[in-house]
Structure 1
Amino acid sequence: MKLFGSTTSPYVRKVRVVMAEKKLEYQFEPTDVWAADTDIAATNPLGKVPTLQFLKSGDVIYDSRVIAEYLDTLSPVGKLVPASSRDRLDVKVWEALADGVCDAGALARLEAVWNGRSEAERSQAWINRQLAKVQAGVAEMDRRLGDQPHCCGVHLTLADIAVGCTLGWLSFRFPQIDWRAEHPNLAQLQDKLEQRPSFAETMPG
């Protein structure tokens, strides 16, 4: 398998962490979708990463949620998505919440820094709206986590991976958001996750 992605993308990191936790081998193809000479559209018509290509067939799949769930089926090592409907739903809701925080954060960041707009064209009201979603999403993560050791009980799941990648990206891209001080339970979970080789080896940047 070949994974097209950026080392700063939380969605790509999620897939890379899953790959590591599942002990799957793959080639990593660094890809800047914003570069003028990018050819990512030849592999993914949406022009996004992560994109996973199967080298023998040439087939591709995209969207981190689709890729992560598929990868979990490839190896019995460290099952990340439960089979039972209720537990599975819980993990997928956590993942959607974490990805939603990243979505809002990415929209805020693009509005602030994308060079396709002049300073006069940027909307601070739009940035504030998206950052409010980030704050609300992180607060909901903290509420849902409570004092549990992991998002969905006592074992690592895809929920923890999604949350850990989101929080790591927030610290990387929005250091002014002091989510650790406001949400110590999340900070404790993040510290524990970042001790895992899968997280330590995929730090953004």
Structure 2
Amino acid sequence: MKLIGSTASPFVRKVRVVLAEKKLDCEFELEDVWSAETAIHLANPLGQVPCLVMEDGSSMYDSRVIAEYLDTLTPVCKLLPPNGRDRADVKVWEALSDGVADAAVLVRLEKTLRPAEQQSVAWIERQMGKVHAGLAVMSANLGESPFCKGNHYTLADVAVGCTLGWLLFRFPEIDWRGDYANLARLFDKLSERPSFKESVPQ
């Protein structure tokens, strides 16, 4: 397998963390999708990373699809419950976390790709509203639990940790650590895992 991605993307990092936790060997190929020379469309017609190229040359894309697939390849560090409400709860955590990251990415693109006079303040405020609302719900749902889903490390924690790390990287002005002490505790604990140490955004 080969993972195509960037070291800055929270979605690519999520897949890299899953690969490390599952102890799966996978080549990592750096790709800048914004470069004029990018060839990402040859593997993913949507032009996005992460993209997992399989042994038979076929491609798998979207971090949620890839992460779920990788969890089936080995029983090492199972990240998703087998079925039922528990599995759905973990997937909702992942969707919430990815949604916060998606909204923040849209803000970054608006501010970096558009000239200042063309930027939409209303659009930026709308997306930032999603970021702050999502963080508040994450904190409320986490409560005093050691992990997002009870007492077990799951894909929910991987997704949340990658999103929080990316916010620190790209939006240091958002003081989620000061606002949500429980998220800060969770993030600090996750950051001690080798899989997170080896994939810090750059």
With structure 2 as the length reference, what TM-score do the two structures score? 0.99
With structure 1 as the length reference, what TM-score do the two structures score? 0.97
Residue 71 (structure 2) aligns with: 72
Q: Which runs of 4+ in 1 moved over 2 A?
A: none
Instruction: Give 1:99 deviation, angstroms.
Output: 0.3
Matched, 1:180 2:177: yes
For 1:202 and 1:72, the matched residues in 2 are separated by 18
Deviations along 1:152-185, whole A, 9 cap, x unmatched? 0111100000000000000100000000000000
Deviations along 1:18-46, whole A, 9 cap, x unmatched? 00000000000001000111010011000
Matched, 1:202 2:189: no
Matches within 5 A, 1:78-117: 78-114=77-113, 117=114
Instruction: Give 1:120 deviation, angstroms.
Output: 1.1
Residue 189 (structure 2) aligns with: 192
For 1:202 and 1:136, the matched residues in 2 are separated by 27
For 1:119 and 1:186, the matched residues in 2 are separated by 33
Residue 117 (structure 2) aligns with: 120
Q: Residue 90 of structure 1: SS of its match in structure 2? A: helix
Instruction: Give 1:84 deviation, angstroms.
Output: 2.9
Q: Residue 64 of structure 2: SS of its match in structure 1? A: helix
Structure 1 residue runs without a partner (length 5+) = none
Residue 15 (structure 1) aligns with: 15
For 1:66 and 1:164, the matched residues in 2 are separated by 18
Residue 145 (structure 1) aligns with: 142
Structure 2 residue runs without a partner (length 5+) = none
Residue type of the partner of 1:40? I
Residue 60 (structure 2) aligns with: 61
Q: Cα RMSD between the aligned structures?
A: 0.6
For 1:84 and 1:62, the matched residues in 2 are separated by 22
* Amino-acid identity (%): 63
For 2:15 and 2:6, the matched residues in 1 are separated by 11
Residue 162 (structure 2) aligns with: 165
Residue type of the partner of 1:191? D
Instruction: Give 1:118 deviation, angstroms.
Output: 2.1
Instruction: Give 1:189 deviation, angstroms.
Output: 0.2
Deviations along 1:88-139, whole A, 9 cap, x unmatched? 010000000000001100111111111xx32211112211111111000000
Q: Residue 196 of structure 2: SS of its match in structure 1? A: helix
